[in-house]
Structure 1
Amino acid sequence: MVKNAGGMDMIKAFTMKLYEGQEQEYERRHNLLWPEMKDMIHEYGGKNYSIFLDKETLTLFGYIEIEDEKKME
């Protein structure tokens, strides 16, 4: 966890792995859930959430800025 230059938000990053052959299913579920996920992230003090898939390694890299870590628990 790292404070940004202004000392206001924290940045969290994470990784996850997809099972081989599940790339299309991941994309489908990601796209279907996004509106609800976006609302939930904002409700718990999160913003600027991004997730990227490395298709060669099937690794997902996630990034989120949060106002208060306790709200995300």
Structure 2
Amino acid sequence: MIKKAFRMKVFPDQHAEYEKRHKELWPEMRQMLKEHGVISYSIFLDKETSFLFAYAEIENEELWKQITKTEINQRWWEFMEPIMETNPDKSPVSHELPQVFEL
């Protein structure tokens, strides 16, 4: 199992919408993540800063990288673009976080 952590940012006035969209995650998106070796995926929101902390446990780094190229993921990025910081390709601005401790 490989552990991934990264930080993103939602717009301050979009916290509720961000949470709503994830509570209603498209079934085909959920299925695609599982098919690409995602074992566990959690996102946490710091409401004071609007930063999102994401943590995923994956089976395979190459499968994880392929997620970005799927049609369903491209649609998800487009759907999420109005409510969070994104890059020109509509992907979320994301900063990978190195693991520094584990108990």
* Runs of 4+ with >2 A deviation: 34-38
Q: Find the counterpart in structure 1 of residue 24 from structure 2.
A: 32
Aligned length: 65
Q: Any gaps of 5 or more consecutive residues in structure 1?
A: 1-8
Provide the TM-score with structure 1 as the length reference.
0.78
* Identity among equivalent pairs (%): 54
Provide the TM-score with structure 2 as the length reference.
0.58
- 1:12-68, Cα deviation, whole Å (9 max, x unpaired): 011111112111111111111164433222110011111111111111100011111
Counterpart residue identity of residue 35, structure 2: E
Q: Any gaps of 5 or more consecutive residues in structure 2?
A: 66-103
Matches within 5 A, 1:43-54: 43-54=35-46
Counterpart residue identity of residue 17, structure 1: K
